[in-house]
């Protein structure tokens, strides 16, 4: 539903312009519907669900696990959402579950995770062990099939919005075959990321990750496809909610400008520049020679001790978001000076009690919605 506009007050009480309501697009909107009242239950056989206005529907995947929890009283269904995604219809239940916190295998061990394209993740823990998770590259492996399927689609008579032409049956069949390739890639990627994040949160007591600017990294046209295929943002999202809800472990997010690759993990010396094509880190101060990704993972793991004790290579740190040791790499936006209002302009004079403040970058808090 479209809501009306609202008035936004300015810094000194001035009123802004009323925003017109924006119409929702039929083509970009996702087919979804949510039920919060009415009959929402799982049938005793575990293969059928009953929803309001839709009746009893058979599901492809059995829901006996949720049914057993509802029967024993450890779960309560709050709402149900039906959506169309990847060529199939899904129904998801928002439940209130009584879940116990599981202790991790190595509670006193800290791991630093450095994400990359050549290697998906390099994990260095506080005991000195370094692991590498290879990048499966699901999209690259399916590019040959996607090109072939796209050529078949281009030879068919597709839809035309300008003339109102409808697609042919052969085009719809070829487009469905191409979509199945995309859906398989997405499912393989989601399965691999869930297995990785579940294993990490179940083993380590403290996880240190980077605050990567994924949107800015996607502007690199040479690496955009591989960066999008790796799913850096999804890895961080899964690590955060799995660690807090399932294992009660601590997640530390390093500052976006923290030079984890440029800092020597042995002596703490920081290089001025380190190009991306240089894959081996050589310290000019202590002579340490180490892989670039291994060095970054070890620096991230060291931030956990610095955040807890206030000492270490990175200096005093914050447990929620670790700051960088030096501020020479960060680009700051120049603030525009305020224009002084003339005395002869009606309402333009600034009162003495009104405080002038500079325009700064505001931190935006992200809300985490769990379904």
Q: Which residues are catalytic?
A: 114, 210, 293
Q: Which two tokens stand for residue 137?
A: 């590259």
User: Within its chain, how far is the Cα of 13 from the centroid?
Assistant: 37
Query: Which DSSP letter does residue 37 get?
Result: S
> How many residues are present in the chain?
371
Strands 250-254 and 321-322, by their bridges, are parallel
Bridge partners of residue 209, in order along the sequence: 253
The burial class, CB within 10 Å (0-12 / 13-18 / 19+), for 156 is middle
Listing DSSP states for 38-105 in one string gives S--EE-TTSSEEEETTTEEEE-SS--HHHHHHHHHTSEEEEEEEEEEETTEEEEEEEEEE--PPPPPS
- Contact status, residue 120 vs residue 227, Cβ threshold 8 Å: no
Strands 130-134 and 32-35, by their bridges, are unpaired
Listing DSSP states for 270-334 in one string gives B-S---TT--EEE-TTT--EEEHHHHHHHHHHHHHHHHHHS-STT-S--SSEEPPS--SS---PP
Report CA-CA distances (Å) from 301 to 66, 68, 108, 112, 123. Answer: 38, 41, 12, 4, 9
Q: Report how far residue 99's alpha carbon sits from residue 95's, in angstroms, rounded to the nearest whole number.
A: 11
- Rounded to 5 degrees, φ, ψ at 295 are -65, -40
Q: Which two tokens stand for residue 164?
A: 């109102």
Q: CB within 8 A of 5, min separation 6: which ones? A: 18, 19, 20, 21
Query: Which DSSP letter does residue 130 get?
Result: E
């Amino acid at each position: 539903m479209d809501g009306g506009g609202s008035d936004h007050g300015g810094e000194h009480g001035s009123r802004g312009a009323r925003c017109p309501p924006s119409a929702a697009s039929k083509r970009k909107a996702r087919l979804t519907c949510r039920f919060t009242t009415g009959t929402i239950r799982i049938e005793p056989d575990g293969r059928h669900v009953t929803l309001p206005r839709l009746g009893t529907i058979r599901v492809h995947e059995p829901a006996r696990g949720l049914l057993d929890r509802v029967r024993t009283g450890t779960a309560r269904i709050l709402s149900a959402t039906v959506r169309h995604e990847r060529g199939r219809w899904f129904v998801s239940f928002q439940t209130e579950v009584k879940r116990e916190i599981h202790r991790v295998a190595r509670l006193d061990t800290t791991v630093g995770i450095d994400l990359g394209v050549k290697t998906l993740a390099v994990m260095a823990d506080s005991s000195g062990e370094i692991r590498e998770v290879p990048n499966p590259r699901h999209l690259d492996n399916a590019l040959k099939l996607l090109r072939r399927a796209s050529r078949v689609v281009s030879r068919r008579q597709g839809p035309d919005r300008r003339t109102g032409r409808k697609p042919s049956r052969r085009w719809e069949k070829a487009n469905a075959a191409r979509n199945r390739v995309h859906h398989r890639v997405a499912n393989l990627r989601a399965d691999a990321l869930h297995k990785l994040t579940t294993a990490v949160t179940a083993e380590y007591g403290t996880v240190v990750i980077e605050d990567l600017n994924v949107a800015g990294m996607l502007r690199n046209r040479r690496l955009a496809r591989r960066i999008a295929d790796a799913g850096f943002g999804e890895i961080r999202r899964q690590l955060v909610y799995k660690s807090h809800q399932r294992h009660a472990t601590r997640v530390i997010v390093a500052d976006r400008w923290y030079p984890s690759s440029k800092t020597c993990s042995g002596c703490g010396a920081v290089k001025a520049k380190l190009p991306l094509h240089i894959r081996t880190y050589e310290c000019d101060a202590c002579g340490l020679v180490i892989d670039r990704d291994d060095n970054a993972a070890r620096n991230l793991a060291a931030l956990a001790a610095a955040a807890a004790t206030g000492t270490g290579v990175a200096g005093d740190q914050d447990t929620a978001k670790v700051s960088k040791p030096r501020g020479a790499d960060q680009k700051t936006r120049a603030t525009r000076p305020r224009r002084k209002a003339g005395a002869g302009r009606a309402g333009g004079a600034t009162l003495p009690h009104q405080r002038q403040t500079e325009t700064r970058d505001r931190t935006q808090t992200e809300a985490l919605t769990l379904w």
